[in-house]
């Protein structure tokens, strides 16, 4: 009996790791530059955190959560996203009252029971930032600038920023009526999900991808024509800051995002190199979420990006990202050579060098092939003669240059 990984959840194998570590390092570097501190909330939370925070009427809560009872019958959920967890943590640890302005980032796995396809899986990884405690439109733009800077650091082009404002709770109440009036004549011809959304939350209809529903959605009125004066002013200020920074964007009046906690600014960064699942990241303001999760009314803004999708784009651009290379490979022939190799390897590793041998003790040809596979920068072959003389040849693999060296850890460490 053999086992396969669970559908939609896959192994990230060693030959892909170079992309992951490169991406994680870039995220950490950008977070440092912009002043965001890392937070690592747990993967499992009380189900209610998400049903309240993300919203009962969203697909994520409605259809996609991995929810299970624990041994005492409490309902727990594998997190489908991290904003609700970060905000819970912010409130739980008193940040909300003691130090209400916080800039945080996270990296980690998320779980959604969706149909697996290219760029969409059931366990996937997100990185994200959350800036909590200010309503200033400059902060919305800082968060967007974090996203742009990361893409720039990774050398990615072909991207566009879709931007919209969905206003405050009052604006959305009014906009829901506008949408219901728009869809009413045709709702019977639209999909079952849209019919449910029509009653529960017609904003969700705008996200529907069904071909039969698209024509009705395409000529629906946009959110930004239905903003109150304060929200319209905030949106204008966000655009002005973006213009000042030279960050380009396209206004998409139907962009509403799939999670209920958003208010005012919403955005997505899409890549022309990804097929149907083209959103690299999405985010926006959530000015009521802290209050909804039991904290004092505190505004916030953030985004989350999918790491698998970013790696898809990265790997197409940089087909063979150089993996890590080892400093030295010790090829051993015979018993004495082997003993010396093991001894030297351990001493050299203690000095901080990366050193390896062939534990399968194969032919010299196979050992040299392994040295190449590991990207060894230097090679020493240790046989009986070297063991007797306590000297060997060290080869610098890139240049092919060889020289004589004493078989002593300090001498070797100085040479590599």
What is the binding site for ligand AMP (CB under 6 A)? Answer: 81, 112, 114, 119-121, 124, 126, 258, 279-282, 304-306, 308-309
d(CA 113, CA 53): 18
Between residues 310 and 376, which has the closer beta carbon with respect to ligand AMP?
310
Closest distance between ligand AMP and the C-beta of residue 105, in Å? 14
**Closest to 240 in 3D by CA, of 160, 141, 133:** 141
Q: What DSSP assignment string belongs to 93-104?
A: TTHHHHS--EEE
- CB of 380 within 8 A of CB of 409? no
Q: Given CA atoms 145, 310, 251, 134 in this order, what sign does their dihedral have?
A: negative
Listed in sequence order, the DSSP H helices in 246-333 are 289-292, 307-317
Between residues 88 and 112, which has the closer beta carbon with respect to ligand AMP?
112
- CB of 415 within 8 A of CB of 344? no
Residue 302 tokens read as: 């953030």
User: Going along 84-165, which residue ranges are E strands?
Assistant: 102-111, 123-132, 159-165
Between residues 55 and 282, which has the closer beta carbon with respect to ligand AMP?
282
Length of the chain: 416
Closest distance between ligand AMP and the C-beta of residue 182, in Å? 25
- DSSP classification of residue 154: T
Other CB atoms within a 10 A radius of the CB of residue 325 amount to 12
Between residues 283 and 337, which has the closer beta carbon with respect to ligand AMP?
283
* Residue 57 DSSP SS3: coil
Closest distance between ligand AMP and the C-beta of residue 309, in Å? 5
Between residues 208 and 397, which has the closer beta carbon with respect to ligand AMP?
208
Between residues 116 and 291, which has the closer beta carbon with respect to ligand AMP?
116
Closest distance between ligand AMP and the C-beta of residue 64, in Å? 8
**Closest to 195 in 3D by CA, of 185, 182, 205, 209:** 205
Closest distance between ligand AMP and the C-beta of residue 277, in Å? 7
H or E element, residue 348: helix 334-350
Closest distance between ligand AMP and the C-beta of residue 278, in Å? 9
Closest distance between ligand AMP and the C-beta of residue 83, in Å? 8
Q: What DSSP assignment string belongs to 249-267?
A: -EE-TT---S-TT-EEEEE
Between residues 168 and 256, which has the closer beta carbon with respect to ligand AMP?
256
Minimal CB distance residue for ligand AMP? 306
Closest distance between ligand AMP and the C-beta of residue 244, in Å? 26
Between residues 140 and 358, which has the closer beta carbon with respect to ligand AMP?
140
Angle subtended at Cα 285 by Cα 282 and Cα 291, rounded to the nearest 5 degrees:
130
Between residues 116 and 375, which has the closer beta carbon with respect to ligand AMP?
116
Between residues 265 and 367, which has the closer beta carbon with respect to ligand AMP?
265
Residue 69 tokens read as: 């009872």
The DSSP bridge partners found for residue 103 are: 131
**Closest to 41 in 3D by CA, of 311, 374, 293, 398:** 293
Residue 126 tokens read as: 């997100």
Closest distance between ligand AMP and the C-beta of residue 85, in Å? 12
Closest distance between ligand AMP and the C-beta of residue 175, in Å? 20
Listed in sequence order, the DSSP H helices in 185-253 are 192-200, 214-218, 229-245
């Amino acid at each position: 009996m053999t086992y396969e990984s669970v559908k939609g959840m896959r192994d990230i194998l060693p030959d892909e790791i170079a992309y992951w570590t490169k991406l994680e390092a870039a995220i950490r570097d950008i977070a440092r530059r912009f002043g965001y501190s890392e937070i690592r909330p747990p993967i499992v939370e009380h189900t209610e955190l998400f049903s309240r925070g993300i919203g009962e009427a969203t697909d994520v809560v409605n259809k996609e959560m991995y929810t299970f009872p624990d041994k005492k019958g409490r309902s727990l959920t594998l997190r489908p996203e991290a904003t609700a967890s970060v905000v819970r943590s912010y409130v739980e640890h008193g940040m909300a009252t003691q130090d209400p302005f916080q800039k945080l980032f996270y990296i980690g796995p998320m779980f959604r029971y969706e149909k697996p396809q290219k760029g969409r899986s059931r366990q996937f990884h997100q990185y994200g930032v959350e800036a909590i405690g200010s309503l200033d439109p400059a902060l919305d733009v800082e968060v967007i600038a974090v996203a742009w800077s990361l893409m720039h650091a990774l050398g990615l082009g072909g991207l566009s920023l879709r931007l919209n404002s969905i206003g405050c709770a009052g604006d959305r109440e009014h906009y829901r009526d506008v949408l219901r009036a728009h869809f009413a004549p045709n709702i019977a011809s639209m999909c079952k999900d849209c019919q449910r959304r029509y009653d529960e939350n017609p904003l969700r209809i705008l996200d529907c991808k069904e071909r039969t529903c698209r024509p009705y959605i395409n000529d629906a009125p946009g959110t930004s024509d239905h903003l109150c004066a304060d929200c319209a002013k905030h949106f204008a200020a966000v655009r002005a800051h973006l213009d000042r920074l030279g960050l380009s964007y396209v206004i998409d009046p139907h962009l509403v995002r799939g999670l209920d906690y958003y208010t005012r600014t919403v955005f997505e960064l899409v890549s022309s190199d990804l097929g149907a699942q083209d959103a690299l990241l999405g985010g926006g303001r959530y000015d009521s979420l802290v209050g909804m999760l039991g904290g004092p009314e505190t505004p916030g803004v953030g985004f989350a990006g999918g790491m698998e999708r970013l790696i898809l784009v990265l790997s197409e651009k940089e087909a063979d990202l150089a993996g890590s290379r080892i400093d030295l490979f010790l090829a051993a022939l015979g018993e004495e050579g082997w003993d010396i190799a093991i001894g030297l390897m351990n001493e050299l590793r203690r000095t901080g060098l990366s050193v390896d041998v062939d534990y399968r003790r194969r032919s010299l040809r196979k050992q040299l092939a392994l040295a190449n596979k590991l990207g060894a920068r230097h090679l020493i072959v240790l046989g009986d003669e070297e063991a007797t003389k306590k000297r060997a040849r060290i080869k610098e693999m890139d240049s092919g240059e060889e020289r004589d060296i004493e078989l002593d850890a300090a001498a070797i460490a100085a040479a590599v």
